[in-house]
Amino acid sequence: MRLSSNKYINLLGLILIVVILNILLFIPGWIDLGARTSAFGIAFTITWVLANILALLYASYMTFFKPPAVLPVKNIEKHEDYLQALGYYKGIKVLEEDVSLVISQLERMKKKREAFLNVLNHRFDPEEMSFKKFASVSQEVEKLLYLNVRSILNRLHVFDKAEYGNMLSNKPKGLTPEMMQKKNKVYNDYLTYLKTSLNTNEEILLKLDQLMLEISRLDSFEEGDIEQMPCMKEIDLLIKQTKLYRD
């Protein structure tokens, strides 16, 4: 389970507050609850300790075990937002493997883009037109993958896991074989679309690798040769095909 750094910070902050409060309440010379022997003092001390335990247990549950909330696709902006949105669907068994692959693709794209820019910085001056053209293409490729993941999330958002589970485990009585076949087709279409999108993402990542390899092999070239590079042509075609498919 992926946990954000904010959740760790919040939990550690709560633990620190509880520790400080207990030091102030039990340290001799201050309130010193431990020295109270009256019925009220003992009852308050026990209640306070139990409240501490419950608060920490609840905070731990919220941090480590509570499923992430569904993040609306329209609110997704950053890389971390995509990971959070996808994390919700990892709990669905039929989708778990594919969703894990989507998350892996996002992480790999982030690393590949950084590596790509590093290659460009070693080969070109940032002010050169060649640098700007290659950087622009890599940005388009990255954008294409994120748009594809966005489409995947839109499909996942309307996937009814309870209905799908019932359909697999118990065939609803009273439904004709034809209706069951139609219902099966709908859910199979969901899964087929997801597989197709995963393959498209892998192709996008592969093209970026190929372009890095081509750039690293080049000794010298003119700016006008960039558009004629085989991989550049393939990437341009992939972008056009994907946009056409999405539209």
Tens-place pLDDT, residues 15-46:
888 888 777 777 766 666 666 667 766 777 77
Decide: pTM greater than 0.75: no
Q: At what angle do helices 129-157 and 230-246 cross, to 10 degrees?
A: 30
Phi-psi domain of 87 (left: phi exceeds 0; alpha: psi -120 through 50; beta: other): alpha
Query: What pLDDT shows up at residue 1?
Result: 43
State pLDDT tens for residues 115-168: 999 989 988 888 888 888 889 999 999 999 999 999 999 988 887 766 666 666
pLDDT exceeds 60 at position 113: yes
Average pLDDT over residues 49-62: 80
Query: What pLDDT shows up at residue 30?
Result: 63
Query: What pLDDT shows up at residue 44?
Result: 72
CB-based contact 190:94 (threshold 8 Å):
no
Query: What pLDDT shows up at residue 3?
Result: 47
Average pLDDT over residues 79-96: 87
**Positive or negative CA dihedral for 220, 226, 230, 231?**
positive
